[in-house]
């Protein structure tokens, strides 16, 4: 009887650990995010892919990984409002440096496919952006 009781407890504990492990998603920004940016209410949108990772201390990553990748040395996250701020430098078509500044709010925080939406400024162009975690 005692063996059966302890076996039931062990099985229950194992199931709780497995369920907890599956529910963990890590840092809320870690992962691949896909979306676009452009002038508000415009059909001319620019595709974005963010790959973000948390190293236990800070969030960093890349916009549009590949030959023209834009390095993000740091992504600021305010956990009191769940807003992010990024600053990065990219190259335009002529090779000149253009500064990117974006600020957005994490929406649907509990969802594995949460989104970030907000404002985007690239050089002198202002717009909005929305990315969804893949």
Domain locations in the chain as residue ranges: 26-133
Contact 108, 82 (CB under 8 A): no
Query: Residue 94 corresponds to which tokens in the numbers above?
Result: 């002529």
> Could you tell me the pTM of the whole model?
0.78
Contact 111, 19 (CB under 8 A): no
Q: Look at residue 27 in the predicted model and tell me its pLDDT.
A: 83
pLDDT by residue for the chain (134 residues), tens digit each? 555 554 455 444 444 443 333 344 568 999 999 999 999 888 899 999 999 999 888 999 999 999 989 999 889 999 999 999 999 999 988 999 999 999 999 999 999 999 999 999 999 999 999 999 99
Distance between CA atoms of residues 61 and 31, nearest Å = 10
CATH class of 26-133: mainly beta
């Amino acid at each position: 009887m005692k063996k059966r009781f302890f076996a039931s407890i062990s099985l229950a504990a194992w199931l709780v650990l497995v369920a907890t492990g599956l529910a963990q998603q890590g840092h809320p920004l870690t992962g691949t995010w896909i979306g676009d940016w452009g002038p508000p209410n415009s059909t001319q949108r620019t595709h974005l892919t963010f790959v973000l990772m948390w190293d236990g201390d800070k969030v960093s990553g890349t916009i549009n990984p590949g030959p023209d990748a834009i390095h993000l040395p740091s992504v600021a996250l305010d956990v009191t409002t769940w807003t992010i701020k990024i600053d990065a430098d990219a190259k335009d078509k002529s090779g000149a440096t253009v500064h990117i500044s974006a600020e957005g709010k994490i929406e649907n925080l509990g969802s594995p496919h949460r989104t970030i939406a907000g404002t985007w400024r690239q050089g002198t162009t202002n717009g909005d952006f929305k990315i969804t975690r893949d």
